[in-house]
Structure 1
Amino acid sequence: MELRTEIVVLGAGAAGLAAARVLSQAGVPAVVLEARERIGGRLFTREDVGLPVPVELGGEFIHGTAPVSFALLRAAHRVALDVTGESFTYENGALHIDDEDRFDVVARVMRRACGLTDDVSAETFLRELGDGPDVERERLLARLFIQGFDAADPHRASARALAEEWNGGEDGQTARTFRPLGGYGHLLRTLHGTLDPERVQVRLATEAHVLRRHAGGIVVEATTAGGTPVHVRARAAIVTLPVGVLSAGGLHFEPPLPPEKQDALAHILTGPVVK
């Protein structure tokens, strides 16, 4: 099967659908290829589990007040619940109300890494904080959050990158936290519904394997779940595949990506999560 279009978008997660919406609104023909049999990528809302509320098997929070997120909420006629509030810790066999927000504690600890002249691993930075019971408690808490919240290995994660993440104001981890009422699934369906079907095709269960660039544009080689080869010819491509897929070589680029992009992929890691 051969398809021809202006732009091919790889991935129908939030980023891919958002890119497709921009193209659709601009009147640009596009084809979106998604390997899964559903849209959403790492956002996966289950609404068929026999419960009165949806269950999020992927991302579930909105961190901060990003205009793009709340514009989509308004378009979907949905609201987000502010879940910022008291936090609890189970420690020494009892449940305690935290006297200080744990996110604020970690942000305060990591803020000290903002002034590092040379970047080091988070573990090295934490070990060099000093001694004392309060410092040890902060070190333990920061390490637990890096491992559990960021899904990162403290021995490999950049101290400066974590400092920027945890002290990013409205875009940082200490910003207010919201949960879309009814789950992310409705927002994704709304985003998908904004696409003009006359201009934008979304092809599910179609996995891209090769992106070949040439003087006249690009060719993407893909395969459907049933094994049918699909070739998409386009003027350009927008790649929104997960970093883990790209760094593992899940998409073969011909010619290869520039060295600086290959190096960036080699240094961006994702951590395992069981939910």
Structure 2
Amino acid sequence: MSEIRTKVCIIGGGIAGLKAASDLTSYGIEVVLLEARDRLGGRIFTDRSGLAPYDMGASWFHDTLENPLFNLSRRKSHYLHYNDDEPMILTSSGPVSRNDKLPQVLKEMLRFNESRFFESLDAPDRSLQNMAYEYIHQQRDLLTDTQVRLVPELVRDLELWHGIAWQSMSAKYAIIDHQGRDSYMGSGYDTIIADLEDTIPKRSVKLQEIVTGIERSHAGVRVHTSSGVVQADYVVVTVPQSVLSLAETETGGIKWFPSLPKAITDALSQMSFGSLGKVVLEFSEAFWPSEDKFLCLADPDKATVQKLIPVPWEWPVNFFNMTLIYGVPTLVALLQSPVTNYVEQHPTKAWALLQPMVEQIAQASGSTATPPTKVLVSDWSVNPFSRGSYSAAEPGNDPTDIIVQLSEGLNRVRFAGEHTIGEGAGCVHGAWVSGQREARHILVREGLVEVSDDD
């Protein structure tokens, strides 16, 4: 690549970078987009090697009442599917009876957690695990033995949202209040990536370009890569928070000239990163019930023991029924760290870990499980350019500070991505909107659009 000159250099070809590039290009702004991988999409990747398109990263539209990307997808008549029925809840002993009223008690447990932090803004944070047992101890005389044993395991379903274990999860920021239902992107998220890619000149996209350094000054920014230098008036940095936090000596790490301000580095140190993994299990035929998902709870006696090698029924797993979406005999399992890390490092062991749970699901319909004909495993935690799935809050973390610092940017250096925005944090549409935000910032500074009250 040697040395090239452009108006805006965008680092990262995920949906935030692509949206920024698309919006800038539409106003005639010259861009160069640098992507370390050999493909675009970032943490969006649709595997089309099997019976159906399987999204190994982002799969759903969240906040569908207020999600501009979802509305765009609706207008394009993409295949959208609401798989938000109540799950069948199973333990290693079989399905849990609805008469045990676990969801009702869980609802009260979450309200108990919320009330602690609404009572006082200075209330000390604690882990989700500690919160769950605090509730159980307080309400013990009002709960059945089954509720005492299983509701703490049911709250661990939040692990499969945040991608981290409950003992490492902030209770303060664990509960998710989405605006609207969740819709599965049945057409495959790669269709949205392709639509954005079509709006950007091919000459502007540089794949397999690893950024190693960023020099910033009042006159402009120089971006050093594995094969040259890009000189630009502006830079939009969309690498994941996990990569932004790396030491410059690690693969994907960026050396800053001058160093990032302490306000940003301190904010980065106050946030964590989750690893939500996926395993796709294709079978020759469907042998499970007709529910759209099956939540397998961890065994209570093992739940507090974190082992180096995960064992079945030690961690909750959520299985999604692809038969209802695509008519194919497939289950997709959602995992959390540290299970994700283990399975992604040892993908051939995924079926052995999940098999006992799948067998219990099969028994719920009076059937017998058969071995999968195809197994697909995500690789987010082992990929040096993602190192996990998305931002997550551990006890004591402050997700608002990093959002404030990165959304303000550093003059000509801007930041975008799911970790830089409040509404839609951790979601595709949040990343998309952040890319739109930074493109608009540049367009306003260049006098191509008028300033609004939102700028």
Q: TM-score range by the shorter chain?
A: 0.7 to 0.9
Query: For residues 110 and 83 of structure 1, do their structure 2 counterparts lie closer, same or farther at Cα, with a shift above 3 Å needed?
Result: farther
User: In structure 2, how many angstroms separate the alpha carbons of the residues matched to 1:18 and 1:194?
Assistant: 9
The Cα shift of 1:26 comes to: 2.4
2:154 partner letter = L
Q: Does 1:128 align with 2:127?
A: no
Equivalent position of 2:88 in the other structure: 88
The Cα shift of 1:72 comes to: 3.4
User: In structure 2, how many angstroms separate the alpha carbons of the residues matched to 1:270 and 1:120?
Assistant: 18
CA contact (8 A) 1:88 1:97 kept: no
Q: Deviations over 1:103-141 (max 9, x none)?
A: x73754543344243231224433432412446643332
2:39 partner letter = R
Query: How do residues 48-67 of structure 1 correspond to structure 2 at under 5 angstroms?
Result: 49-51=49-51, 53-65=52-64, 66-67=66-67
Q: Secondary structure at the match of 2:70?
A: helix
Q: Deviations over 1:137-190 (max 9, x none)?
A: 433322x22433311243443322224xx2x240xxxx4111112210111101
User: In structure 2, how many angstroms separate the alpha carbons of the residues matched to 1:56 and 1:97?
Assistant: 32
Higher RCO (CA < 8 A, seq sep 6+): 1
User: In structure 2, how many angstroms separate the alpha carbons of the residues matched to 1:54 and 1:148?
Assistant: 21
Root-mean-square deviation over aligned CA pairs: 2.6
Equivalent position of 1:241 in the other structure: 239
Query: For residues 43 and 230 of structure 1, do their structure 2 counterparts lie closer, same or farther at Cα, with a shift above 3 Å needed?
Result: same
Q: Secondary structure at the match of 2:41?
A: coil
Equivalent position of 1:22 in the other structure: 23
Query: For residues 50 and 141 of structure 1, do their structure 2 counterparts lie closer, same or farther at Cα, with a shift above 3 Å needed?
Result: closer
Equivalent position of 1:138 in the other structure: 151
Q: Does 1:183 align with 2:195?
A: no
Query: How do residues 224-235 of structure 1 correspond to structure 2 at under 5 angstroms?
Result: 229-235=227-233
Q: Deviations over 1:40-87 (max 9, x none)?
A: 11110011x142x11221111111214322243146441321111131
**TM-score (normalised: structure 1):** 0.83
1:237 partner letter = V
Query: How do residues 191-270 of structure 1 correspond to structure 2 at under 5 angstroms?
Result: 191-195=196-200, 197=201, 201-223=204-226, 229-249=227-247, 250-270=253-273
Query: For residues 154 and 94 of structure 1, do their structure 2 counterparts lie closer, same or farther at Cα, with a shift above 3 Å needed?
Result: closer
Query: How do residues 135-174 of structure 1 correspond to structure 2 at under 5 angstroms?
Result: 137-142=150-155, 144-163=156-175, 166=176, 168-170=177-179
User: In structure 2, how many angstroms separate the alpha carbons of the residues matched to 1:241 and 1:113?
Assistant: 35
The Cα shift of 1:259 comes to: 1.1
1:125 partner letter = M
CA contact (8 A) 2:161 2:276 kept: no
Query: For residues 127 and 100 of structure 1, do their structure 2 counterparts lie closer, same or farther at Cα, with a shift above 3 Å needed?
Result: closer
Equivalent position of 2:342 in the other structure: none
Equivalent position of 1:226 in the other structure: none
Unaligned runs of 5+ in 1: 224-228
Unaligned runs of 5+ in 2: 248-252, 279-455
1:149 partner letter = W
CA contact (8 A) 1:121 1:156 kept: no
User: In structure 1, how many angstroms separate the alpha carbons of the residues matched to 2:116 and 2:210?
Assistant: 41
Aligned length: 258
Q: Larger Rg: 1 or 2?
A: 2
Q: Which stretch shifts more, 205-214 or 79-88? A: 79-88
Query: For residues 76 and 205 of structure 1, do their structure 2 counterparts lie closer, same or farther at Cα, with a shift above 3 Å needed?
Result: farther
Equivalent position of 2:444 in the other structure: none
Q: Does 1:70 align with 2:70?
A: yes
Query: For residues 107 and 36 of structure 1, do their structure 2 counterparts lie closer, same or farther at Cα, with a shift above 3 Å needed?
Result: farther
1:40 partner letter = G
**TM-score (normalised: structure 2):** 0.52
